[in-house]
Amino acid sequence: MRTSFINSLCELAATHEDIFLVCGDLGYSVLEQFADRFPDRYLNAGIAEQNMTQVAVGLAREGYNVFTYSIGNFPTLRCMEQIRYDVCYHEANVKVVAVGAGYAYGQQGVSHHTTEDIAMLRSLPNMLICTPADAAEAEAAARFMATRRGPGYVRLNKAGEPRLHPHGDALSVTPGQFLQMRAGHGTAVLATGAILGSALDELQSSGMSWSVYSAPFIGQYDRQSLRALAERYEHIITLEEHQLNGGFGSSVVEGFSDLYDRGILASMPRVRRIGIPNSFIGTSGTQEYLRRAAGLSLLAPET
């Protein structure tokens, strides 16, 4: 996923001369192609992510569309003050790119478990959050962010994820929309990020006839899309590799609640949120192991 995103960004930089990439002293074997092709629009800011963010804002004020790149919590949680005051308050043209969503760097322990970033960043005005599920969505995210003006956050898994969308024409992603991945009835699963692949595998092996949708963006949901989901399905399940507090599932429930309050929905749909319990899992392990430890399964019993 990260390689697909950077490859796309590199190709986009050939025609979008305002694209600038700043990294926090990592990305080796991934970012070299951008640095080699566009040395005047690439900067390694070192292991100083807060400074990296402020440098990015300065470049944005000079007319660049700047992408910062680092691992999980380091360009996000570590830089919340800079993102709030410098990026979002000034509506700076800065895109924060974090690789290692959820438990992708699970062996590194809690410092590298990226499990609160969505909740923190989606609370900031002007911030648009994009959480691709596979390489196709990552490529589409790069194309979208290359032309978007203003703050953005792209949450990438790592590498080696299966391609869930068919090869062929380039995928298009739009904030507020859900992409149907599997047709079914009765229950709809709304998943965001790379855990979508696990959801599809789980339903395939179980024989469950549920619909599955991907949510490449979090928040700013299209009113008609939410209404259609609420009216079509008896039960909606949200799935995310993020803590339950303030994450994707919370944003969906908020969206339904707002529609109900305005009289657009006759009743609130039944929504089950599946995410990481609101506690730290102080264990190191593979992403798959930690997903199981957190109970990130569609067919796990409700508690």
**What pLDDT is stored for residue 238 in this prediction?**
98
Map the chain to HEC letters. Answer: CHHHHHHHHHHHHHHCCCEEEEECCCCCCCCHHHHHHCHHHEEECCCCHHHHHHHHHHHHHCCCEEEEEEECCCCCHHHHHHHHHHHHCCCCCEEEEEECCECCCHHHCHHHCECCHHHHHHCCCCCEEECCCCHHHHHHHHHHHHHCCCCEEEEECCCCCCCCCCCCCCCCCCCCCCEEEECCCCEEEEECCCHHHHHHHHHHHHCCCCEEEECCEECCCCHHHHHHHHHHCCEEEEEEEEECCCCHHHHHHHHHHHHHHCCCCCCCCEEEEEEECCCCCCCCCCHHHHHHHCCCCCCCCCC
CATH number at residue 214: 3.40.50.920
The pLDDT > 70 percentage for the chain reads 100
**What pLDDT is stored for residue 47 in this prediction?**
93
* pLDDT score of 15 more than 90: yes
Q: Is residue 298 part of a domain?
A: no
**What pLDDT is stored for residue 4 in this prediction?**
93
**What pLDDT is stored for residue 303 in this prediction?**
59
**What pLDDT is stored for residue 1 in this prediction?**
86
**What pLDDT is stored for residue 169 in this prediction?**
73
Per the structure, the complete domain to which residue 32 belongs is given by 2-156
Tell me the per-residue pLDDT of 153-162, one tens digit each, with 9 for 90 and over.
999 998 788 8
* pLDDT score of 12 more than 70: yes
Mean per-residue pLDDT for 84-99? 97
**What pLDDT is stored for residue 255 in this prediction?**
97
pLDDT band at 27, cuts 50/70/90?
confident
Q: Is residue 91 part of a domain?
A: yes
Residue 150 and residue 204 in one domain: no
Residue 57 and residue 133 in one domain: yes
Tell me the per-residue pLDDT of 249-281, one tens digit each, with 9 for 90 and over.
999 999 999 999 999 999 999 999 999 999 999
* pLDDT score of 170 more than 90: no
Q: Is residue 163 part of a domain?
A: no
Mean per-residue pLDDT for 71-82? 96
**What pLDDT is stored for residue 142 in this prediction?**
97
Residue 91 and residue 206 in one domain: no
Tell me the per-residue pLDDT of 94-126, one tens digit each, with 9 for 90 and over.
999 999 999 999 999 999 999 999 999 999 999
Residue 36 and residue 116 in one domain: yes
Tell me the per-residue pLDDT of 189-236, one tens digit each, with 9 for 90 and over.
999 999 999 999 999 999 889 999 999 999 999 999 999 999 999 999
Q: Is residue 162 part of a domain?
A: no
pLDDT band at 68, cuts 50/70/90?
very high
CATH number at residue 59: 3.40.50.970
Residue with tokens 């590298």: 112
Mean per-residue pLDDT for 10-39? 93
pLDDT band at 35, cuts 50/70/90?
very high
Q: How many domains is the chain built from?
A: 2
Residue 152 and residue 186 in one domain: no
Q: Is residue 253 part of a domain?
A: yes
**What pLDDT is stored for residue 171 in this prediction?**
92
Q: Is residue 188 part of a domain?
A: yes
Mean per-residue pLDDT for 27-49? 92
**What pLDDT is stored for residue 32 in this prediction?**
92
Note the Cα 200 to chain centre separation in Å. 18
Q: Is residue 168 part of a domain?
A: no
Residue 20 and residue 151 in one domain: yes
- Of the residues 125, 156, 187, which one is the last residue of a structural domain? 156
Tell me the per-residue pLDDT of 277-302, one tens digit each, with 9 for 90 and over.
999 998 899 999 999 999 999 987 77
